[in-house]
Structure 1
Amino acid sequence: MEGNNNVVEKIFTRPKSLTDVPTHYCPGCHHGLVHRLIAEIIDETHLQATTIGIAPVGCSVLAYDYFNFDMVGAAHGRAPAVATGVKRVHPENLVFTYQGDGDIAAIGCAEIVHAAVRGEKISTIFINNAIYGMTGGQMAPTTLISQVTNTTPYGRCAEGTGKPLRLSEMIATIDGAVYVARVAVHDSIHMTKAKQCIKKAFDIQMKGLGFAMVEVLSTCPTNWGMSPLKAVDWMKENMFPQFPLGVLKASEEVLK
């Protein structure tokens, strides 16, 4: 922006909590957007020096290259278990897991359920793109009925593989989970809401109130076989009815 004195003022910059490293994510993937929102929140709350993120196995396995704060790698699905240990050793730190639907809802389902049961004071960011991304596009627990994947070439069939798992609804029934929300980041309005919900989850943790999880619906244009724009339309038309957006649970302690 150029002022009257012909001095250029920079009004949009990279958050300090993001490194100057190009991401490996496919065009149209929403991981990069969510990374930025998390980094902005860390900057705004001045928690960069005391934040510890847990990187998963999946498309975001290289998250430790992109976030400019301490990161710990975890085995596939075990991020909540690792985060539990980290948080109990460093209770004053902000500790969050960043997990895809294959990581959290399949091999890691027991870990996330029991972290919530115990009311672990950690935050989980759950990216749901209804497919296994990194490993080549196989069916995930969140894959929709009739959705074509590499392992469901004729579309997912409820009789053979069951129906999509609504993980957030399941976690919301657990007493130890005090805040559960589902958001999207496909436009500016939804990005603003997503940022508010992620910030809320982090605030809840720092206040020691219990377990919080924010699910982010995301596109996967590469494995869906679509252009980025078509993928957004498909997400809105198909994923939103199956996985409704909104706050699924906010306990009394959170609302005070």
Structure 2
Amino acid sequence: MNQLTYRDYLVESRLPTIWCPGCGNGIVLKAILKAFADLGLDRKKTVAVSGIGCWGWADDYIDTNAFHGTHGRALAFATGIKLANPELTVVVLMGDGDGATIGGNHLIHAARRNVDLTAVVVNNFNYGMTGGQYSGTTPRGSITSTSLLGHVEDGFDLCALAAASGAPFTARGSVADGEDLRTLIRTGLSRKGFSFVEAVSACTTHYGKRNGIKTPTEMFQWIRKNSVSRERAATLPEEKVRGKFVLGVFSDRQSEDYGTRYRKAAEAAVKEAQA
């Protein structure tokens, strides 16, 4: 049997991608497809569910089943798909606007229910497709098209939000290390229950240029400079970690998923009715 590669899951006829030159979305896409190949996923039993936004276009390049939903509702659609057919592997592709700002309520409840999904959120710190407005993850002080004097709010820590909501597996990587992202996504896909993987990938077209990061190369250097491993962060004083991208696995535990609990309850109800 031939070894699967990411190309087995890539729609090469759709290349080049729609994304801006230097965008990290292509790195995240390749990490996902490599994780698919690592696990030998059956394309007919795999579904990529996406919402609206730059990262929402990713399903165009994935050669599996796909569902392209409305803004902020990808997790709601994915929940229905998974519960209707538990045999499917369902990966949900969202940006920070789609997954945590417009769709933040769905993120909280998908994690709380522990639905057997893998959510991959590309965090580019703004609404990249519609002009670079600030989102729920935009760092304080950042310049965006809707915070020209500097953003005055603190952004969500998405991994902390997902973990506090009940997600058994939460992790953060960055586009500065595609192989690490591959490992995190592969681990999330292999876990039963709700897995949340954040990929730090600041928008080069809007966020970068408005905040003094002029080129994609400078953006990757900026991400590396401002990243610290979770293990390293644990040894540093709080002021040294503040504003950094803390990378790694934040939670990894076993927990019975929603679908399993629901089916058990349904089977118990049938037995009781038949008694």
239 and 139 in structure 1: CA distance in 2 versus 1, 3 angstrom threshold: farther
- Alignment partner, residue 149 of structure 1: 144
Quick one: which of 4, 7, 14 aligns to 1:15?
7
Answer yes or no: is the 8 Å Cα contact 2:35–2:183 preserved in 1: no
2:248 corresponds in structure 1 to 246
- Residue 31 of structure 1: CA displacement? 0.6
The correspondence of residues 1-256 of structure 1 with structure 2, limited to 5 A, is 15-20=7-12, 21=14, 22-47=16-41, 48-157=43-152, 162-175=153-166, 177-186=167-176, 190-204=177-191, 209-223=192-206, 224-225=208-209, 226-238=214-226, 241-252=243-254
What code does the residue aligned with 2:168 have? Answer: V
Give 5+ residue unaligned stretches, structure 2: 229-242, 257-275
Q: Identity across aligned pairs (percent)?
A: 33
Q: Aligned equivalents of 1:62 and 1:192: distance in 2?
A: 22
Letter paired with 2:161: M
The DSSP-based 3-state class of the residue aligned with 1:246 is strand
Aligned mates of 1:64, 1:215 — CA distance in 2: 17
The code of the aligned residue for 1:231 comes to M
Does the aligned pair in 1 maintain the 2:10–2:61 contact within 8 Å? yes
Q: 1:253 to 1:115 in 2, by over 3 A?
A: closer
Determine if contact 1:168/1:180 at 8 Å carries over to the other structure.
yes
CA distance in 1, matches of 2:108, 2:55: 21
Q: Which structure 1 residue ranges, 5 or more long, are not aligned? A: 1-12
Quick one: distance in 2 between partners of 1:82 and 1:57?
13
Aligned AA for 2:44?
A
User: Does the 8 Å contact 2:6/2:33 carry over to 1?
Assistant: no
Query: For residues 226 and 144 of structure 2, what CA distance do their matches in structure 1 show?
Result: 15
Aligned residue identity for 2:20:
C
Report the Cα distance in structure 1 between the residues aligned to 2:195 and 2:188, rounded to whole angstroms: 5
Contact 2:54 2:129 in 1 (8 A): yes
CA contact (8 A) 1:166 1:243 kept: no
1:166 partner letter? D
Q: CA deviation at 1:46?
A: 2.3
CA distance in 2, matches of 1:62, 1:248: 28
* C-alpha distance in structure 2 between counterparts of 1:252 and 1:90, whole Å: 22
Which amino acid is 1:70 matched to? N
- Across the two proteins, how many residue pairs are aligned to each other? 232
Q: Give the match's secondary structure for 1:172.
A: helix
1:88-109 superposed Cα distances (whole Å, 9 cap, x missing partner): 1110110010100011111100
RMSD value, Cα: 2.0
What is the CA–CA distance in structure 2 between the aligned matches of 1:73 and 1:112, rounded to whole Å? 17
Task: Give, in whole Å, the separation in 1 of the partners of 2:254 and 2:49.
Answer: 28
Q: Aligned-pair distance for 1:239?
A: 6.8
By how many angstroms is 1:181 displaced? Answer: 0.2
Structure 2: distance between partners of 1:196 and 1:31: 17
Question: In structure 2, what is the Cα distance between the partners aligned to 1:135 and 1:239?
Answer: 27
In 2, Cα distance between the equivalents of 1:148 and 1:135?
Answer: 15
